[in-house]
């Protein structure tokens, strides 16, 4: 079933739940709202990091597919990243583990918030003047390859959707698992929000310069690249060397390395490293295994190395992560 609701009606619903808005006692600019029960459950968190730079964290599930009927409206730059969930408008569809880069300009009239599935999202909003202050020249002009991101308010905004890279996902988890409080929390989140923006902009810059205009892989090569990934993940404890993996997948090493980066956005063993850590995170979330058991299960042999890698990826130690989820179970 699908519900269509006007923007005014949505704002009216929001007014009803404003009484439940929770301010961080150490940071009045960090506010969490509960999703109106009539449409779903979960929360949206808004953090004003500085003038012209805001962070939104959304974690909710809708009861049914919801369409917000919004008027065309001039928008800020928006870096909208999904770990799960889907939403779409007249120009784009953003799904699981995808991000959308929206430039400033005129936003489409209608926004489809998405089907009834869990949405876990991190979004950074930035005013054009803020972007210019970071990467503009003395006259505030952006590099040529990024000028499409700022358009007049009457012109439709620039949009691009792409898969989330391991580096981008790592920053998202560091934001979601921020271990700090108060003013140091805001400094940490601002640095991570800017890191997220820089990763997206660097990819955009490379695309516009043609650095990623790589010859498409053949269907056969693409199939073997995915087979190589399967072989890699089937051997977490003793992964094959790059030459052995290439041989098993019936590829030469160069094609394996180039193809793997082209398909998955990273190197073979960087992918394996991030996969191990993500599996560890999921196992710790259950609260049913000790840190040492999880470490062994995902192929780490050194506890210190595991703890350091986990903290770098998610911004918190595996022990603290486990304790948080044990309390919430």
pLDDT digit string, tens, across residues 133-171: 999 888 888 999 999 999 988 888 888 888 898 889 999
| Contact of 298 with 264, CB cutoff 8 Å | no
Q: What is the pLDDT of residue 18?
A: 67
Domain extents in the chain: 2-209, 219-328
Cα–Cα distance, 192 to 142 (Å, whole number)? 22
Residue 164: what are its φ and ψ, rounded to 5°? -75, 130
User: Burial of 149 by CB count in 10 Å (0-12 exposed, 13-18 middle, 19+ buried)?
Assistant: buried
What is the residue-averaged pLDDT of the chain?
86
Answer whether 271's CB lies under 8 Å from 277's CB. Answer: no
Taking alpha carbons only, the member of 22, 66, 20, 67 closest to residue 40 is 66
Is residue 131 scored above 60 in pLDDT? yes
The sign of the dihedral angle between the CA atoms of 320, 83, 6, 150 is: positive
What confidence tier does 323 reach under pLDDT thresholds 50, 70, 90?
confident
Angstrom distances, CA of residue 204 to CA of 72, 162, 201, 281: 25, 10, 5, 30
Termini Cα distance of the chain: 31
Residue 271: its H or E element: helix 268-286
Enter the tokens of residue 143: 């590099």
Give the closest residue to 285 by CA, choosing from 120, 97, 92: 120
Q: Is the distance from CB of 175 to CB of 192 less than 8 angstroms?
A: yes
Q: How far apart are CA 314 and CA 321, in angstroms?
A: 9
Centroid of chain to Cα 55: 12
Question: With 60 as the cut, is the pLDDT of residue 284 above it?
Answer: yes
- Region of poorest pLDDT, from 59-63, 255-259, 261-265, 295-299: 261-265
- DSSP code at position 149: G
The pTM score is 0.69
**Sign of the alpha-carbon torsion through 118, 6, 81, 224:** positive
CATH superfamily, domain at 219-328:
Homeodomain-like (1.10.10.60)
Average pLDDT estimate for 32-40: 84
CB proximity list for 137: less than 8 A, separation 6 or greater: none
Between CA 163 and CA 178 the distance in angstroms is: 23
Please state the length of the chain: 329
CA distance 270 to 258: 14
In the three-class reduction of DSSP (H, G, I as helix; E, B as strand; rest coil), residue 240 is classed as coil
């Amino acid at each position: 079933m699908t519900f269509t609701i006007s923007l005014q009606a949505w704002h009216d619903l929001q007014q009803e739940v404003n009484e439940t808005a929770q301010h961080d006692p150490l940071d009045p600019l960090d506010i969490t709202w509960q999703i109106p029960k009539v449409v779903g459950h979960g929360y949206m968190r808004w953090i004003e990091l500085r003038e012209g730079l805001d962070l939104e964290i959304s974690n909710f599930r809708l009861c049914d597919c919801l369409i917000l009927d919004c008027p065309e409206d001039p928008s800020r730059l928006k870096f909208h990243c999904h770990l799960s969930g889907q939403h779409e408008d007249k120009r784009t569809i953003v799904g699981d583990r995808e991000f959308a880069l929206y430039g400033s300009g005129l936003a489409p009239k209608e926004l489809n918030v998405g089907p009834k599935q869990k949405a876990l999202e991190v979004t950074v909003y930035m005013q054009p003047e803020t972007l210019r202050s970071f990467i503009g020249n003395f006259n505030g002009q952006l590099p040529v390859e990024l000028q499409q991101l700022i358009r007049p308010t009457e012109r439709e905004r620039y949009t691009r959707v792409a898969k989330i890279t391991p580096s981008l996902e790592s920053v998202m988890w560091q934001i979601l698992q921020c271990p700090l409080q108060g003013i140091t929390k805001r400094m940490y989140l601002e640095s991570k929000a800017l890191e997220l923006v820089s990763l997206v902009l660097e990819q955009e810059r490379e695309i516009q310069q043609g650095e990623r205009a790589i010859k498409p892989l053949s269907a056969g090569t693409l199939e073997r690249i995915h087979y190589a990934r399967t072989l890699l993940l089937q051997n977490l404890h003793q992964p094959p060397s790059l030459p052995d993996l290439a041989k098993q997948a019936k590829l030469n090493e160069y094609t394996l390395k180039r193809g793997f980066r082209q398909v998955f956005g990273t190197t073979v063993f960087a992918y394996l490293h991030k996969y191990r850590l993500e599996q560890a995170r999921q196992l710790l979330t259950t609260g049913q295994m000790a840190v040492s058991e999880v470490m062994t299960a995902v192929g780490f042999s050194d506890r210190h190395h595991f703890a350091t890698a986990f903290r770098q990826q998610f911004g918190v130690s595996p022990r603290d992560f486990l304790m948080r989820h044990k309390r919430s179970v």
